[in-house]
Structure 1
């Protein structure tokens, strides 16, 4: 596919082709080079945790797998030999046209994970990849490079997911996205896994290790458990993922100096726990870290869109303990360096859509939102009521109103258009317009839009209240929309995923809801669609999905 062609899946490369190729991969005598007599051989299944790719650039992409060279080299064990794993990238599922290949050493020091930053690829096209150890091949994955920076693709299409708790259900949302065959990449917006022990926050499936993860071995074992899920493996193999973390990759309600679910006296120093969690995350995720190991980063998709993935846990101040603290200018959710980085992303003039991979809700969700003309003097007078209004949830941007106002002012004062926040964390579905002054909406102009994805499995309102779906939650939804007029739609009971389709004319987001999170074969149905037309920063409901 040429650089100027549409950034879209090749219709001939569907998931069935990946599965067919997986069958061919087993024929090692046909596909693998002859092995020297002294080559290491696995003593059991070598590739038990699937394959994955991520962070596509125009000429390179991250490739990932994990090898089990001997039976006792289990994840987190710290045992097993150092071994060499081979890898190949090809334009075809039969690997007749291999374009780049190599070999890499791995061992217990990195939990026998393998991560390659495979270069020498052409922009804007699909590739197949696989790994080999001894006489065994991995499953075959399919990945795609980004378009060249100076090309405007006709469209982009992302699957969007968040909050996938093993203990709360099956990952059917992943299967549905894998089966589509038309998704260029998947955005996972955080809570890829959860730290809790068995029976804590869900009991449908039980976590391993059988306690809360705290040590490096714990985090490695938990990552490994999640990557044994066949539906997760299918979606990782179907297309590249672009991932950021939220809190549960370390511990609940994490901030720069601790977490709600961390007790230093019993669980050690927070800085050490987070370091071990990040090390396991780096080993087990198909992600490219930036300078100084930073997780926030940008990915460019030609001139059509730039995606900025945020890290809203590493640098944030502790969550407000008093309502008035939500306005404190000394408190931050992004940190100074990341805020400057995000400002640069929003000011970019050589790309149209500014997409923000945002782990927690950006839009004001306040009780009630105050007009700025009232809120500012009231905040100054009392020091108790935040300028924008009383927040429902101080773990969101509502608890860090100064940072949010800085960004909203930038969008408003510098005429930035076509900014879209794609958000996870809250386990429910929301569609917002982001106004300059929420208290004066709809008379206040809007500067961005926000789409919030429901959880893959994690509990939402009906499960948390023990009430039947579409009963108690309906009144909550009505109240939220009444108090927050910039909120265009909310649904608090369903699990599922979003599809985000980007063209020069508009961004459209389609919500799909599962019938039953505890059924691995659950059906999914289209629930709602909204679009934002270029240049408007306004939402309109759309009757049909893309």
Structure 2
């Protein structure tokens, strides 16, 4: 049992069960919205599972005026408890923490003393109010090598662009050990701009572009009013890293494409505000404050290296510029790259998983049809002429990539798998030592890229039916990039990556319509890499 005096952060079930899981959340909000006492209106969450513990999170609304970002509301004591039984017949850990205005009335409990590889239920209470019950799971014991570990994988959830149905379908699965969120959990844009208002399904709150601490808190809080997002957090521990839109588009260490100091203040102040709100509202341990790079272990089967590719990077250069090869430019920063290299070299895990917010595989456009250049360039941040490389991804920082991939090859580090988001498309790639001579030159790793939850991709930008105009683009890109085994430029959805001693497999799932709150899901494609091969092959069916 752990006393909390110092707070630091398997098969699918039916849709009916998923809907039932949402009822307590919706009912609680309605029941408490008009009362004067404390209420839990933003759900519960857990994250960063360890073999002996997990981080728990919630936000309490102590009074009706204490809405996110308001700076109002009294401090309130919040208790928490953890049980292996859904009815809490036996409580194995409990504690208390105070929710204050300084942290926007969010609270965290870093619970330790739990059993490895075990499912737990947890809940919070304040006054007469009791939170929804969440479910979480600890990581396997360090010496565990049998069985499997399975993660849901998501990225790029733009509130205005669609509904979070992908989250609902992942929440309904009971075969997921945790969900990996690879960034762009929210977007900073003002309402009606991305996408244009006539294509959006709902509006941001606040309606303006978020810049201040209060703005970021309101935007985070608004996301937690979404029942699908709350269901995801209540169903599984979430392991999150950020990308650029948690701050501003194409962020780098000293600024962003979507930041104007003259009207929006100093970049450092905006970053500090965004990071404070992020660590308040996300189930990430405060011990990582200032960055999200960290390492989690899942027995001796898998080690997960999570990167922060915004806080330390050099400014992006002009696409097509030779400056992309400048050794003085970095996407990781020296300290983080050394940390990653050392971790990969010394890891005793069978599989080295690397959570990276932007694609590491090289990518050249090739001869694309003219009508595809503009939307594809918009997605990847290029001028409309479509000049390679993609300067916001590792293609814009080739010296860091050369050093990292060279390290994998020179040290004979096998079974490295990059898990990636950002680009609003699904990819399955070998990661070649030298793309120009692949497949004669070796592949040193593999990469699975998941598409967006809702953020616009090619068919959305062209306003055409999916898998029509984009098919020519897919053909051209694969012809110019022989290490790309599969590419879907139009779908939205999520991935499920399953790791065993013999192989790692990514199952790609799509949703039927991001503008339909009741969208269905279906399996699209699967790829796997067999242990020791550093290459992908197609799998005939998803892992059961």
1:343-402 CA distances to partner (integer Å, 9 max, x unpaired)?
Answer: 022112411100001100000102569xxxxxxxxxxxxxxxxxxxx7331000000000
- Look up the match of 1:381: none
- Rounded Cα–Cα distance in structure 2 between residues aligned with 1:309 and 1:156: 17
Change in CA separation of 1:212 and 1:398 when aligned onto 2, cut-off 3 Å: same
- Rounded Cα–Cα distance in structure 2 between residues aligned with 1:23 and 1:437: 53
Report if aligned partners of 1:53, 1:62 keep a CA contact under 8 Å in 2. Answer: yes
1:436 to 430, 433, 436: 433
- Look up the match of 1:179: 172
Deviation for aligned residue 1:466: 2.3
Q: Unaligned regions of 5+ residues in structure 1, if any? A: 1-8, 28-40, 370-389
1:175-216 CA distances to partner (integer Å, 9 max, x unpaired)?
Answer: 111112111000000000000111010222100011000000
Q: Which moved more, 1:320-329 or 1:429-438?
A: 320-329
Report if aligned partners of 2:279, 2:289 keep a CA contact under 8 Å in 1. Answer: no
Deviation for aligned residue 1:289: 4.1
- Does residue 149 in structure 1 map to residue 146 in structure 2? no
Aligned residue pairs total: 506
1:504-529 CA distances to partner (integer Å, 9 max, x unpaired)?
Answer: 00000010111100111101111000
- Rounded Cα–Cα distance in structure 2 between residues aligned with 1:231 and 1:291: 27
Specify the SS of the correspondent of 2:405: helix
Specify the SS of the correspondent of 1:527: strand
Deviation for aligned residue 1:16: 4.4
1:474 to 471, 475, 480: 471
- Does residue 328 in structure 1 map to residue 326 in structure 2? yes
Change in CA separation of 1:123 and 1:26 when aligned onto 2, cut-off 3 Å: farther
- Look up the match of 1:515: 512
- Does residue 396 in structure 1 map to residue 393 in structure 2? yes
- Look up the match of 2:273: 276
2:360 to 337, 362, 379: 362
Deviation for aligned residue 1:468: 2.3
- Does residue 62 in structure 1 map to residue 55 in structure 2? yes
Report if aligned partners of 1:22, 1:140 keep a CA contact under 8 Å in 2. Answer: no
- Look up the match of 1:457: 454
Specify the SS of the correspondent of 1:366: coil
- Look up the match of 2:130: 137
1:170 to 121, 144, 163: 163
Q: Which moved more, 1:43-52 or 1:260-269?
A: 43-52
* TM-score, structure 1 normalization: 0.89
- Does residue 405 in structure 1 map to residue 402 in structure 2? yes
- Does residue 532 in structure 1 map to residue 529 in structure 2? yes
1:41-93 CA distances to partner (integer Å, 9 max, x unpaired)?
Answer: 96156000000000001111110000001000010000110110010000111
- Does residue 252 in structure 1 map to residue 245 in structure 2? no
Deviation for aligned residue 1:290: 4.0
- Does residue 47 in structure 1 map to residue 44 in structure 2? no
Report if aligned partners of 2:71, 2:101 keep a CA contact under 8 Å in 1. Answer: yes
- Rounded Cα–Cα distance in structure 1 between residues aligned with 2:493 and 2:453: 5
Aligned pairs for 1:32-43 (under 5 A) are 43=36
- Look up the match of 2:153: 160
- Does residue 352 in structure 1 map to residue 350 in structure 2? yes
- Does residue 315 in structure 1 map to residue 312 in structure 2? yes
- Does residue 337 in structure 1 map to residue 335 in structure 2? yes
Report if aligned partners of 2:157, 2:452 keep a CA contact under 8 Å in 1. Answer: yes
- Rounded Cα–Cα distance in structure 2 between residues aligned with 1:150 and 1:83: 41
Change in CA separation of 1:255 and 1:91 when aligned onto 2, cut-off 3 Å: same
Deviation for aligned residue 1:119: 1.1
- Rounded Cα–Cα distance in structure 2 between residues aligned with 1:23 and 1:231: 13
- Rounded Cα–Cα distance in structure 2 between residues aligned with 1:72 and 1:153: 51
1:195 to 170, 188, 191: 188
Change in CA separation of 1:24 and 1:162 when aligned onto 2, cut-off 3 Å: closer
| Two-structure CA RMSD over aligned residues (Å) | 2.4
- Rounded Cα–Cα distance in structure 2 between residues aligned with 1:361 and 1:23: 39
Change in CA separation of 1:10 and 1:121 when aligned onto 2, cut-off 3 Å: farther
Change in CA separation of 1:146 and 1:18 when aligned onto 2, cut-off 3 Å: farther
- Rounded Cα–Cα distance in structure 2 between residues aligned with 1:291 and 1:180: 29
1:405-449 CA distances to partner (integer Å, 9 max, x unpaired)?
Answer: 001100111100000000000000101001111100110111100
- Rounded Cα–Cα distance in structure 1 between residues aligned with 2:423 and 2:203: 22
The structure that has the greater radius of gyration is: 1
- Rounded Cα–Cα distance in structure 2 between residues aligned with 1:540 and 1:450: 12
- Does residue 122 in structure 1 map to residue 115 in structure 2? yes
- Look up the match of 2:6: none
Specify the SS of the correspondent of 2:172: helix
* TM-score, structure 2 normalization: 0.89
